[in-house]
Amino acid sequence: MELFAGLRTFSMGAIALRLLGALLCGSMVGLDREMRNKKAGLKTHVLVCIGASLCMIVSECIILGRDGVTTDATRIAANVVTGVGFLCAATLMTRGNGSLHGLTTAAGLWSTAVIGLACGTGWLEVGLLAATLILLVFALFGPADDYIEHISRGFDLYAEVVDYEHVSTVLDTLHDCDVRFSGLQVSKSPVGTIIVQLTAITQHLGEKEGIAESLRALDCVRYLEMF
């Protein structure tokens, strides 16, 4: 596109616009995460996007700024993608029930780094398009993912019961609901209740809610979560 063609030139004006474009794209994704109260929010995404953009600009500076220098500009980009992977790992959190949270934010942060690389090469229109698509994924795929999870057959169960003797009550209830399960783990919580964790699968779609109601109706169940 002619509108963005000037960004592919190597001048201070073009470099400034590339960094501003990275700031814009990072803000688009980061604002969505900030509004959803995620650990990696607006500032984190903006800094990652600008930093990745700067890495590409520095690569170009090394190649064009010194006579006789021959190097592969993709090396820095590859290391950016690898390095941001460690930062993404810091956004992941495992709760006490064993469920993993933060995968979407980590994927968005990693994608923002790649957008920054695109902006750093002068392809601002590509970065803007990618940032827009990521926002559409956050907006549209979230409800779809929740619905699929609601009707799916497989789930992990975390329950706290009064005593060890009530573990069999939970398992018998699952058997009565025609639920197959594996990976049973039984342990004692700090407050004295007995924790039951397992992976299960139902016979038909959309049965999880009914199974949860059956388990919560048991007097021995103090806490229940299915995810």
Task: Indicate the residue among 126, 150, 174 that finishes a domain.
Answer: 150
Enclosing domain of residue 90: 2-150
The whole-model pTM stands at: 0.65
pLDDT value of position 165: 92
**Is it the case that residue 224 has pLDDT exceeding 90?**
yes
Taking residues 209-223, report their average pLDDT. Answer: 94
Cα 169 from Cα 173, distance rounded (Å)? 6
pLDDT digits (tens, 9 = 90+) for 29-85: 888 888 777 767 788 888 888 888 888 887 777 666 555 555 566 677 777 777 787
Instruction: Specify whether 37 is located in the same domain as 80.
Output: yes
The total domain count for the chain is: 2
Is 178 found in the same domain as 137? no
Q: Which of 113, 132, 150 is the last residue of a domain?
A: 150
Euclidean distance between CA atoms 214 and 177, whole angstroms: 9
Last residue of a domain, one of 125, 150, 175: 150
Tell me, yes or no, whether 39 and 97 share the same domain. Answer: yes
28/76: higher pLDDT: 28
Q: Are 57 and 120 in contact (CB under 8 A)?
A: yes
Q: In angstroms, rounded to a whole number, what is the distance separating the alpha carbons of residues 103 and 109?
A: 10
42 and 30 in a single domain? The answer is yes
CATH number at residue 207: 3.30.70.60
β-bridge pairing 180-188 and 93-94: unpaired
- Shared domain check, 134 and 65: yes
CA dist., res. 98 & res. 111, Å (int): 26
- Asked if 142 and 165 sit in the same domain, the reply is no
What is the DSSP-derived secondary structure letter of residue 16? H
Same domain, 110 and 195: no
Tell me: do 210 and 176 sit in the same domain: yes
Residues 130 and 170 in one domain: no
DSSP class of 193: P
- Do both 181 and 135 map to the same domain? no
Together in a domain, 138 and 215:
no
Q: Contacts by 189-193 with C-beta closer than 8 Å and gap 24+?
A: 189/160, 193/160, 193/161, 193/162, 193/222, 193/223
Q: What is the arithmetic mean of pLDDT over 182-207?
A: 92
**96 & 191 share domain:** no
